[in-house]
Structure 1
């Protein structure tokens, strides 16, 4: 008998009314789906979908040396990030393995918001406190007070602006000013504003491969915000979306998931994130020596695999070259958008040019190595 999930989203009762089926995710009871997984996936690709991300961790690092502390703690050079911008980065261990992947928002000159995966919230908070101890700054875990919703899909901007009640922060807090600013938001940028008098942070970030937004606000405001966005968008095909469709969306977009593609034993280079390693970074950081010593030809690397038919390789299935096992699937599914099976897998580098197959319960499924991402939205 499995242990019950220990935590519930501020939107749990809302999801119950929507008929959600729930599952445990990182110790949280979260919606797996609200109806058809295929319909939810398709809604995000063709209209928009609304996601509850309240399980994510929100950790604030603030103080005169907050930037320096994060430079020493994380792979990225956060001191170079301007206010109003965000950066995707990694928390590494001494061996260069990934403890978590993060998005860090610079919300002020001396203030950063670090967003961690649900299961790693305490790991990230503890690591940041330890690594920031020598700097003049504080690390505060504000996860219990912050709610997060994602609105993703080609109609997300229209839905956001039609919902009403949003205004820009600062002088002249009008809906017109908010609309002007949000239309001009580039990828990985954000703005501070209000929703019906409550502070919000609206960011052009997401994990679906689509145009969209992530909106932070106080946990107590989340239900009102969710209901307003969903009510506005339903007539245009907007649906609430659960974890099942979220997973196929990020897989199609070739986005790694912690616990699947990212692990404490995988380096950024193995995971296809070598672009994040900047040898010119000024500050030392935990794991630097290990990742910079990683040889380009060492270890298994993450690849995309495509197949024909309807059967799909799943996490943990072996990848073979003839009778030799040369890798393992980390994520796999029948792609709703592309109509054929896709997978990400760690494969021996010298086997990438070989004829490969996924062992699907004893039967070989021929696969081809293809570039990531599998799907890329039209501009």
Structure 2
């Protein structure tokens, strides 16, 4: 990375805090983000056993408001947002006209006229564009507030108690995927029972000026700072897809085994016709897990073989700190699936893996 590249990166409200804590900062989708603090494996274990706090302010924060806000959300994404009550959220997909996955994201209903949408960093502009297209002719406004807000994810078995101790908030009183507008310091934010680790936890969306005091309070209450390296290994142990690795515009929800988030039996929405055709045709490949018997992980782009024949490609892979073995995700040609044995050429050595249906570890984020 050149000095000019470094200068062009977008910092979060917590970048100075990360430097003070000795974080290794990297370019992530144009943002200057902490990859690790004390080390990815140690941070992973802290979240699985205790509590950690992530700065995920690179994620988008988009507000959809107005009498037709709900209709705009419903027309933009694949899941049926009209079934949500106030104070509830939903995993959904933004697809293009060919049925490819533009992004996977969560939509949060504050009330019928106010929604918060949190896209992935690299896809925020595309998601905002899709929603503005859907808002055309409707009484709704789409406002990208990403640069003005920070998002703190507090995750782990001790997450709820830590948030209460640090901020006086009680996320344990919210339903799983629930949310509430809350007082944070001298301002307000949105507390959400969501996460990307498989552990109990919550995510707090606040204006930038409230981020550092909240972060400091969480550290003082016992949360460890966690980087994006551990966030990736934690999500992989749960089998959660990462856009840009496991899903993108070249993949559709059915081969990614995300068809449960596509509701075709409702009104028109972006990509619906193409998705109906793809569902009827059925996927020629499917995304499954690879569970190794050694520490050697598969890596993105490596070829998967069965009985000497190429049957797929690895999309994500890592060492699992919980299991002590290599794990990964891969698209595998039908009918290869759970229970089959495959190999991956890992730096010139054929390494054996079992095909499984994730998650790789037993965790309950509803706890």
For 1:132, the equivalent position in structure 2 comes to 135
Question: By how many angstroms is 1:254 displaced?
Answer: 0.9
Residues 120-146 of structure 1: CA distance to partner in whole angstroms, max 9, x if unpaired?
111111121122212111111011111
TM-score by length of 1: 0.92
Pairing 1:275–2:260 present? yes
Q: Of residues 290, 304, 318 in structure 1, which corresponds to 2:303?
A: 318
For 1:169, the equivalent position in structure 2 comes to none
Question: By how many angstroms is 1:183 displaced?
Answer: 2.6
For 1:15, the equivalent position in structure 2 comes to 18
Number of equivalenced pairs: 360
User: Does the 8 Å CA contact 2:340/2:354 hold for their aligned counterparts?
Assistant: no
Q: Of residues 353, 362, 366 in structure 2, which corresponds to 1:376?
A: 362
Question: How many Å separate the matches in 1 of 2:304 and 2:21?
Answer: 40
For 2:236, the equivalent position in structure 1 comes to 251
Q: Of residues 348, 351, 354 in structure 2, which corresponds to 1:362?
A: 348
User: Does the 8 Å CA contact 1:297/1:349 hold for their aligned counterparts?
Assistant: no
* SS at structure 2 position matched to 1:158: helix
For 1:302, the equivalent position in structure 2 comes to 287
Question: How many Å separate the matches in 2 of 1:325 and 1:307?
Answer: 18
- 189-198 or 255-264: bigger deviation: 189-198
**Aligned in 2, Cα 1:157/1:296: closer, same or farther, shift over 3 Å?**
farther
* SS at structure 1 position matched to 2:129: helix
Q: Of residues 67, 82, 85 in structure 2, which corresponds to 1:64?
A: 67
For 2:188, the equivalent position in structure 1 comes to 199
Question: How many Å separate the matches in 2 of 1:52 and 1:197?
Answer: 20
- 296-305 or 89-98: bigger deviation: 296-305
Q: Of residues 197, 202, 210 in structure 2, which corresponds to 1:208?
A: 197
Question: By how many angstroms is 1:322 displaced?
Answer: 3.0
* SS at structure 1 position matched to 2:70: helix
Pairing 1:90–2:93 present? yes
- 217-226 or 77-86: bigger deviation: 77-86
Question: By how many angstroms is 1:302 displaced?
Answer: 0.1
Question: By how many angstroms is 1:350 displaced?
Answer: 2.2
* SS at structure 2 position matched to 1:350: coil
User: Does the 8 Å CA contact 1:59/1:142 hold for their aligned counterparts?
Assistant: yes
Question: By how many angstroms is 1:354 displaced?
Answer: 4.9
Compute the RMSD of aligned alpha carbons: 1.4
* SS at structure 1 position matched to 2:61: strand
For 1:170, the equivalent position in structure 2 comes to none
* SS at structure 2 position matched to 1:208: coil
Q: Of residues 29, 42, 46 in structure 2, which corresponds to 1:43?
A: 46
Q: Of residues 156, 161, 177 in structure 2, which corresponds to 1:158?
A: 161
Question: By how many angstroms is 1:265 displaced?
Answer: 1.3
For 1:291, the equivalent position in structure 2 comes to 275
* SS at structure 2 position matched to 1:351: coil
* SS at structure 1 position matched to 2:137: coil
Question: How many Å separate the matches in 2 of 1:44 and 1:97?
Answer: 33
Q: Gaps spanning 5+ residues in structure 2: where? A: none
* SS at structure 1 position matched to 2:324: coil
For 2:179, the equivalent position in structure 1 comes to 190
